[in-house]
């Protein structure tokens, strides 16, 4: 089992890498890390001494003063090298650099020079080093106005603002889930002093991405329609867009119920994409679920009885509670990386309709069990 430490675990890529490693407890042990370690030499040295692998993601990406950004990133690398030398570590260090390395800016310089410093350490010490040159990354839970223009656009569109495009260039992109898979492959690769140029998976103009996001807003955010998702990129973009919605404010969404002397009729879901619809009955006091998905799009619709649906984002403690009743049929959609369950809290059987955008595949279920 490899003991893996991630500096910058609290950041956008760091949290995705940390959570994904947690899906493979038989292969990886995650060494505890806190941002304060870089302010205390003894804590940083203790952290380094425990690690077989260190993924150095801690960095400043934006600052009003480029000099501050440059000095901060170089200082973080220097402190890490000092701790590596003090502990005589021969850990495999992976460093996240950027495709901006070759640009004439201080951020790019900080990444290139930081990579070279760590490469020199590996040559001196006999340690292993992998430099990862990463293209533009997008995905759930990135910070608007910091990590990605997609994060900024998605946040604005779901919070009553209209994004503007200042420069409509072509952008080379990689989804954070794809990036994390590559990083894990490199963690398991024992090559020494290795530079890996991570290839982008998609390339789009900024206006093309904005058009897709605006379509998601009109169809999904406003009308509850699952749009046609023509490619893996569009599925990833849609899941990214969904995570910027204010979930406690948006859900549950009440259905329009049509009643006459025959009974009630409710339209459960409008699809532009396919998938699988399931129906369940749940006995009193029984809970279903307590699992999460990393790519699937899922909707729970309560049509009879009383239910409590709970969601909790992986890596956090806050639980979101949604109370639904068949008297006012409603639905809640499950964001990716949120563990979720549904419990019958009534005194009669609970009827629930489930929709998910993929057929169930027991060889690749994308279902990970964790109690809410």
Residue 189: per-residue pLDDT: 84
Model's pTM, two decimal places? 0.91
Residue 185: per-residue pLDDT: 95
For residues 219-241, b (16+ Cβ closer than 10 Å) or e, as one string?
Answer: bbbeebbbbebeeebbbbbbbbb
Residue 268: per-residue pLDDT: 87
Residue 195: per-residue pLDDT: 86
Residue 273: per-residue pLDDT: 73
Contact status, residue 333 vs residue 365, Cβ threshold 8 Å: no
**Cα angle for residues 251, 322, 269 (degrees, 5° grid):** 45
Residue 359: per-residue pLDDT: 86
The residue ranges of every structural domain in the chain are 2-144+162-203, 247-369
Task: Point out the residues of the chain with pLDDT beneath 50.
Answer: none
Peptide bond before 252: cis, by omega within 30 degrees of 0? yes
Fold of 247-369: Jelly Rolls (2.60.120)
121-156: pLDDT as tens digits: 999 998 899 999 999 999 999 999 988 999 999 999
Task: Tell me the DSSP string of 50-117.
Answer: T-SEEEE-------SSHHHHHHHHHHHHHHHHHHHHHTT---EEEEEEEGGGGSSSHHHHHHHHHHHH
Residue 256: per-residue pLDDT: 87
307 strand-pairing partners:
324, 344
- Measuring CA to CA, how many Å separate 110 from each of 105, 131, 199? 9, 13, 21
Residue 227: per-residue pLDDT: 94
Residue 330: per-residue pLDDT: 95
Residue matched to tokens 């789009």:
204
Residue 178: per-residue pLDDT: 98
Structural class in CATH, domain 2-144+162-203 = alpha beta
250-285: pLDDT as tens digits: 999 999 888 878 777 788 888 887 888 988 999 999
Residue 106: per-residue pLDDT: 87
CB-CB neighbours of 205 under 10 Å:
13
Residue 286: per-residue pLDDT: 95
């Amino acid at each position: 089992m490899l003991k893996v430490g991630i500096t910058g675990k609290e950041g956008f890529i760091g949290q995705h890498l940390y959570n994904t490693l947690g899906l493979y407890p038989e292969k990886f042990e995650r060494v505890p890390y806190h941002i304060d370690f870089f302010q205390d030499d003894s804590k940083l040295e203790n952290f380094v001494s425990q690690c077989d692998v260190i993924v150095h993601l801690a960095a400043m990406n934006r600052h009003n003063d480029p000099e501050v950004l440059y000095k901060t990133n170089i200082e973080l690398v220097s402190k890490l090298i000092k701790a590596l030398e003090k502990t005589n570590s021969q850990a495999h260090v992976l460093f996240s650099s950027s495709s901006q390395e070759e640009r004439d800016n201080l951020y790019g310089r900080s990444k290139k020079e930081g990579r070279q410093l760590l490469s020199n350490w590996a040559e001196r010490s006999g340690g292993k080093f992998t430099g990862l040159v990463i293209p533009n990354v997008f995905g759930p839970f990135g910070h608007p106005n910091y990590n990605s223009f997609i994060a900024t656009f998605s946040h604005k569109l779901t919070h009553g603002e209209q994004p503007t495009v200042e420069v409509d260039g072509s952008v080379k992109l990689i989804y954070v889930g794809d990036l994390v898979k590559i990083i894990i492959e490199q963690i398991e690769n024992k090559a020494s002093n290795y530079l890996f140029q991570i290839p982008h998976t998609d390339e789009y103009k900024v206006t093309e991405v904005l058009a897709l996001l605006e379509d998601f807003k009109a169809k999904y955010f406003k009308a509850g329609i699952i749009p046609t998702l023509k490619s893996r990129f569009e599925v990833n973009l849609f899941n990214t867009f969904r995570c910027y919605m204010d979930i406690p404010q948006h859900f549950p969404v009440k259905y329009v119920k049509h009643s006459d002397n025959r009974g009630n009729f409710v339209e459960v879901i409008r699809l532009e994409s396919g998938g699988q619809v399931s129906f369940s009955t749940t006995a009193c006091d029984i809970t279903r679920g307590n699992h999460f998905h990393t790519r699937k799009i899922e909707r729970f619709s309560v049509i009879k009885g009383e239910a409590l649906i709970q969601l909790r984002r992986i890596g956090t403690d806050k639980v979101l509670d949604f109370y639904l009743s068949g008297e006012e049929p409603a639905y809640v959609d499950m964001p990716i990386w949120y563990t979720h369950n549904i419990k019958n809290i009534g005194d009669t059987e609970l009827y629930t309709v489930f929709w998910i955008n993929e057929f169930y595949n027991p060889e690749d279920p994308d279902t990970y069990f964790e109690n809410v």
